[in-house]
């Protein structure tokens, strides 16, 4: 079997499992619990504060705040170092769609990060 087909299959399967997890009760319960804890004002340690201020964490949170169709393009292209045509195959869309989503996702990230990213 072709290595590219196996890689594509594994990425597609992983994406679908991720969607299942995001729709699951345990994920929504975890989000609710964290939201409730922040409303009550539980204090964080100094170490947690330093980690949250780290630029990588801020960028990671900004990427995770994107909608799934933009998030998956950013993750596959930048974090997994896939080519645009490979991303298009995995997401089952055209190369131009991937380019458009990348451009829009970059714009959204620039707005949400407020100048942390420089091109």
- What are the boundaries of each domain within the chain? 1-42, 43-119
Q: Class assignment of domain 43-119?
A: mainly alpha
10-37 average pLDDT score: 71
**pTM greater than the 0.75 cutoff:** no
Half-sphere exposure of residue 72: CA atoms within 13 angstroms, side-chain side: 21
The model's confidence at residue 119, banded by pLDDT at 50, 70 and 90, is very low
d(CA 105, CA 15): 18
Higher pLDDT, 14 or 45: 14
d(CA 44, CA 30): 18
pLDDT computed for residue 70 by the predictor: 93
Average pLDDT in the chain? 77
pLDDT computed for residue 40 by the predictor: 46
Cβ pair 116, 61 in contact under 8 A: no
d(CA 63, CA 85): 21
d(CA 105, CA 108): 5
């Amino acid at each position: 079997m072709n290595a590219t087909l196996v890689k594509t299959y594994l990425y597609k399967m992983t994406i679908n499992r991720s969607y299942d997890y995001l729709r699951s009760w345990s994920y929504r319960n975890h989000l609710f619990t964290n939201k409730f804890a922040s409303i009550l004002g539980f204090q964080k340690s100094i170490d947690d504060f330093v980690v949250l201020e780290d630029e990588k964490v801020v960028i990671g949170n900004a990427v995770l705040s994107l909608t799934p169709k933009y998030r998956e393009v950013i993750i596959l292209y930048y974090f997994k170092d896939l080519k645009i045509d490979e991303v298009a195959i995995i997401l089952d869309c055209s190369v131009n769609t991937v380019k458009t989503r990348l451009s829009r996702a970059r714009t959204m990230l620039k707005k949400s990060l407020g100048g942390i990213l420089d091109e």
